């Protein structure tokens, strides 16, 4: 569909109006047959709920419930990780904290280093 700029909207509406009037003069309205109208009405509104869908099969129901459970577990795990990281996670050491001295090399390590 072509994008219509707001300043071109009036022009497009005039063009559509002219097409509509052209079609109205070219075609004559026809009365619908009553049998067709009744048949169409029966097909559209005949059942109690025309938009009602057949119930889910067992496999679809199991997959739907399983997907919902997995999604909920992933959400809880992600939120738990996030809150633990914010409030109870590892904190960086302060810069003023004394650094640990490295252990002196043992005799075997000194020989290997040399």
On whether residue 103 sits in a domain, the answer given is no
Q: Which pLDDT value is given to residue 72? A: 97
Give the CA distances from residue 31 to residues 40, 59, 66, 68, in Å, rounded to whole numbers and listed in that order: 15, 49, 54, 53
On whether residue 15 sits in a domain, the answer given is no
**Which one is predicted more confidently, 41 or 111?**
41
Query: In the predicted model, is pLDDT for residue 97 greater than 60?
Result: no
Give the chain's mean pLDDT: 78
State which residues form the domain around 71.
Answer: 56-87
**Count of domains for the chain:** 1
Q: 0.85 cut: is pTM over it?
A: no
On whether residue 79 sits in a domain, the answer given is yes
On whether residue 30 sits in a domain, the answer given is no
Query: In the predicted model, is pLDDT for residue 67 greater than 90?
Result: yes
Q: Which pLDDT value is given to residue 53? A: 62
């Amino acid at each position: 569909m072509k994008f219509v700029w707001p300043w071109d909207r009036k022009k497009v509406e005039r063009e559509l109006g002219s097409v509509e009037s052209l079609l109205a003069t070219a075609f004559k309205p026809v009365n619908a047959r009553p049998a067709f109208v009744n048949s169409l009405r029966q097909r559209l509104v005949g059942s109690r709920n025309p938009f009602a869908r057949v119930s889910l099969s067992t496999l679809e129901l199991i997959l739907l419930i399983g997907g919902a459970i997995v999604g909920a577990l992933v959400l809880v795990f992600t939120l738990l990780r996030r809150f633990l990281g914010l409030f109870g996670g590892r904190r960086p050491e302060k810069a003023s904290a004394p650094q640990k001295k490295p252990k002196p090399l043992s005799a075997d390590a000194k020989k290997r280093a040399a």
